[in-house]
Structure 1
Amino acid sequence: MKNLNLFIAFILLATIVSCQKGENRLNASGPVVQNPESVVPKTKINAFIYDQLAKTQHFEWKAANDSLLWSALVQGDSVLAVGYQPAGFTNLADKMHTVNVADESWKSARNQLMDLVLRNERKTGKTDKDLLVFKENRLPYFTVKVSNIATIKALRASNLVRYTEPIGYGKFMNQGATKSGLGTESSVLTFGCGTNIPTPGLVAGVDYTNITPGAKQSWNYTYHKIPQAWARSTGQGVKVMIIDTGVSADQDNLGANFNQGASTGRSIEKLVTFPGGTPADLCGHGTAMSGALAGPRGTDGASAGIAYNSNLIVVHAAENVVILSSESVQGVADAYVLGGDRADVKIISMSMGSIIAFNPINDAIIYAYNKGKLMFCAAGTSNSSIPNWIGVIYPADRPQVVAVTGIKDNLTERCVDCHVGREVAFTIVMEKTSTATTALSLAMTGDAPSTVGGSSVATASCSAIAALVWSKYPTYPKDSIIARMKRASSLANNKSTTFGWGIPDADVAVGQ
């Protein structure tokens, strides 16, 4: 009997050990790591973000500890972006455009990390497809739904991981929790939307000039010698991609009437990378940027864009001007990859941004930059979540892009909501000191002009000036185009830490 009891005890012990070993294998390298009993409140997370911005003018999630990052993740939409690379790989930024994630070493690194996620999320019997959120592009990162702090700890400890980021927290950061535990969407997600309607009371000869064959020229064009530059270049042969909120299906000047009057022989494409979206603009911002950059010089009385003979691609990549949701992060990253892969695209203009840096977008910007694209980004336009003390926002603060801001017609004050800083390269006149009237563009429908301001219209306008220059010098590389614009700007000999090289003179930049 004693021997039998010993045998049973041995079997029980062996079973327990076996189970523990299985559990250890399931959870990477140790016992189950329990989630914290409480999350870090959003107020503390937000305070941490703004504190980092105050100290460095930049915020990335790598500055957060595991507990804070996990708290942001579970109080958002639980979407975690994981950047990866094979062990020992170096200088990825220089090689981003040559990486093939289907190669064995990259595929192995990715699969090892997906297995790690599955183990730590305790998804037995599941595959990576059960956790993946967005379709993977050609860049080395993936997005997964994560709820366990053990997953974060394991990923951050891996030498295969470049970054782990809760890319959807911003969508919920400014609202309280609901019964479900998630926050309601932040009101900042409507910023910049719904305002693109015709502006009443615009005065001929003051706010615009009537030009042939039957169009309107915005009041601010004269400050950049746009009419003089038009004598030698109108943007013909240059294709510009706008990454924004899409294009209104009801604006004929960006549709069936894109070629009219003095604007002929060009093309417009309307694409979408925003997950679940269509090319249609439900916000109004993308339509306004498209009109300011490339609206036709037509016969119907509408406002003409600066590069009125350029070709245009408008990508609906985000739901509004502020990049905060995981869908927008993915949409913007996919848009930059799309632009990078299009050999016919020379310029990419994006008048959107965020106080939070997103490495999936960084990867995509580097990819497009390495592919030879000239990229302009808005320095920032203030709202309740983006105070102007922050300076130049993300991604305009990245070295691969050209940051643009706006200035008043007194040529000394930035526009009311415009951000400035040492990263700014060019400044566009786009706001009247006396009346606060901003630059003319195309409304969501009809020919009566709307007006649009901030660093947004400054960026679209600067991109259009670059299109004028590149049209005149089609064989030049992107650096030569920027060099011509710098030499033609008001602060060419004394770059400012506020306004960069200053106000570009399009006539001088285009040259004789």
Structure 2
Amino acid sequence: MAAAPIASADQTRRDQWALGVLHAESAWKVSTGKGVTVAVIDTGVNAEHLDLKGNVLKGKDFVDGDDDASPEESDSDLSTNHGTEMASLIAGHGHGAGAADGVMGLAPEAKILPIRWGGGSFAEEIRYAVDHGASVISMSVSTSHEFPEDRAAVAYAIAHNVLIVAASGNEGESGQIDFPGEFPGVLTVGGVGRNGTIWEGSNYGPQVLLTAPATDIVSAGWPGNKLRIGTGTSDSAAFTSAAAALIKSKFPDLTPGQIANRLVKTAVLPASAKGLSLPDEKYGYGTISPFAALTQDIPAGSKYGPLVAPGSGSPSAAASAGTSDTDSATEKEKADQKQMVFFVVLGVVSLVVIGLIVLLIVKLSRRNKDHNGGGGGPAGYPQYGQQVAPPQQNPYQQPVSPQQQNPYQQQPTPPHGQWPPQQ
């Protein structure tokens, strides 16, 4: 994310335009993200920043190997601020009288689990987040290299009911979605500007499911209590992670796919995008509308919702997803029940067939006895030597159901969907 320092450390939130168009204050009357932990896998988080203090948990530094996930103290390297910036967009709580100053995140009562990533594979970081209570994992960092262990870690997260949100990238190109955004099960997010249209630097492709604000975003910095302003899809992923935390707080039983379903079903588009066939490779289904996602009557839907099921195209990934013993036992019990029903039906059909054969033999025997081997039997019974019609198709055999159409593919522009979102 490109960033530049802001002169005043007490920058007011009037410059946080994204909170306005996302109707954050209305959303906070419904949910503030309380009780939800969002893991931020990034460059580390400044837990002592005035706008974050108290909302940052003990995490882990996978670079130094300790539990201090603070960024390196280098004011000249803006990349070290990145994790703090993202954390503040998610769970910043401002400061001063009435928290009127500083950065307010979209989910101000969520907790941040800071995880410092040093590059390369992020499998250990994802598994750590899952095992330490995260419900949402925000990843505004990526790698161009596909590690098999990373794919398995993503599947592990989804199997344990943890949503991963990833940024699409900032090159403004098609086919440049890096990992984890490429992996099945990940919610990949692009960026829009103040007018709701796609930001020209937002990477795009079929992996993009949603968009969120990305330009001129005020956030917390490092070191000290500095503030910064920047542009990039990193911010979009952070806002979407925060929106997911709001939903998870209000609807704690929803799966990652069902959370994504609420965001997709309430997404909005600018007037210039009217008539697009959704999902669009740049907008996905549109831009998040947290208040609508929290308040509209939306059926939970299927487990994976609009997300691609982990393991798609890679059976080994599904095998390594880390499904619990309870889940395995449940699946085995269902399989046993299906097998039992099959054998019961087979037994009933077999008895019916045997009964018909016995009845036929008895009738033929009586006819031969009564007519001393001559003459035809009663109407409807075959005579000796007459060929019996082949048995009808097993009435218990279920026809194969045609594959259902994916309800998320090629949808028209939502009737509610105009930018900015309506309250």
TM value normalised by structure 2: 0.61
The 4+ residue runs of structure 1 with deviation greater than 3 A are 195-198, 200-204, 275-278, 445-448, 491-494
Match of 2:87 in 1: 290
CA 1:493–1:360: 2 relative to 1, 3 Å: same
CA 1:390–1:475: 2 relative to 1, 3 Å: closer
CA contact (8 A) 1:421 1:499 kept: no
Q: Which has the larger radius of gyration?
A: 2
- The 3-state SS of whatever aligns with 1:253 is coil
CA contact (8 A) 1:405 1:455 kept: yes
CA contact (8 A) 2:57 2:113 kept: yes
CA contact (8 A) 2:51 2:103 kept: no
1:486, distance to aligned residue in structure 2 (A): 0.9
Match of 2:35 in 1: 237
Which of residues 219, 235, 243 is equivalent to 1:457?
A: 235
CA 1:249–1:468: 2 relative to 1, 3 Å: closer
- The 3-state SS of whatever aligns with 2:33 is coil
CA contact (8 A) 2:142 2:180 kept: yes
Identical aligned residues as a percent: 25
1:276, distance to aligned residue in structure 2 (A): 4.6
Which of residues 19, 23, 26 is equivalent to 1:221?
A: 19
Match of 1:502 in 2: 286
Which of residues 246, 251, 254 is equivalent to 1:468?
A: 246
The amino acid of 1:504's aligned partner reads I
- The 3-state SS of whatever aligns with 1:303 is strand
Task: Give the distance between the partners of 2:231 and 2:255, measured in 1 at CA.
Answer: 30
1:474, distance to aligned residue in structure 2 (A): 1.6
Residues 432-454 of structure 1 deviation map (CA, whole Å, 9 limit, x = unaligned): xxxxxx11111114445311321
Match of 2:120 in 1: 329
CA 1:273–1:222: 2 relative to 1, 3 Å: same
Aligned length: 279
CA 1:510–1:493: 2 relative to 1, 3 Å: farther
CA 1:345–1:267: 2 relative to 1, 3 Å: same
1:6-45 aligned within 5 A: none
1:197, distance to aligned residue in structure 2 (A): 6.1
Task: Give the distance between the partners of 2:244 and 2:174, measured in 1 at CA.
Answer: 29
Task: Give the distance between the partners of 2:64 and 2:13, measured in 1 at CA.
Answer: 39
Residues 401-429 of structure 1 deviation map (CA, whole Å, 9 limit, x = unaligned): 00011111222232x43211111011012
Task: Give the distance between the partners of 1:493 and 1:503, measured in 2 at CA.
Answer: 15
CA 1:487–1:202: 2 relative to 1, 3 Å: farther
1:299-378 aligned within 5 A: 299=96, 301-318=101-118, 328-330=119-121, 332-342=122-132, 344-378=133-167
Which of residues 186, 205, 209 is equivalent to 1:421?
A: 205
CA contact (8 A) 1:224 1:503 kept: no
CA 1:494–1:203: 2 relative to 1, 3 Å: farther
Residues 214-243 of structure 1 deviation map (CA, whole Å, 9 limit, x = unaligned): xxx711122222221111111111111111
Match of 2:337 in 1: none
Residues 453-497 of structure 1 deviation map (CA, whole Å, 9 limit, x = unaligned): 211111011000111111111222222211111111015983212
Residues 149-176 of structure 1 deviation map (CA, whole Å, 9 limit, x = unaligned): xxxxxxxxxxxxxxxxxxxxxxxxxxxx
CA contact (8 A) 2:50 2:95 kept: no
The amino acid of 1:293's aligned partner reads I
Q: Are 1:399 and 2:184 an aligned pair?
A: yes
- The 3-state SS of whatever aligns with 1:483 is helix
Task: Give the distance between the partners of 1:334 and 1:464, measured in 2 at CA.
Answer: 23
CA 1:274–1:427: 2 relative to 1, 3 Å: same
CA 1:454–1:196: 2 relative to 1, 3 Å: closer
Task: Give the distance between the partners of 1:270 and 1:468, measured in 2 at CA.
Answer: 22
Match of 2:5 in 1: 198
Match of 1:131 in 2: none
Task: Give the distance between the partners of 1:411 and 1:303, measured in 2 at CA.
Answer: 22
1:45-444 aligned within 5 A: 198-200=5-7, 208-209=13-14, 218-248=16-46, 251-254=49-52, 257-258=53-54, 268-274=57-63, 276=65, 278-282=68-72, 283-299=80-96, 301-318=101-118, 328-330=119-121, 332-342=122-132, 344-382=133-171, 388-414=173-199, 416-431=200-215, 438-444=216-222
CA 1:485–1:275: 2 relative to 1, 3 Å: same
RMSD in angstroms over aligned alpha carbons?
2.6
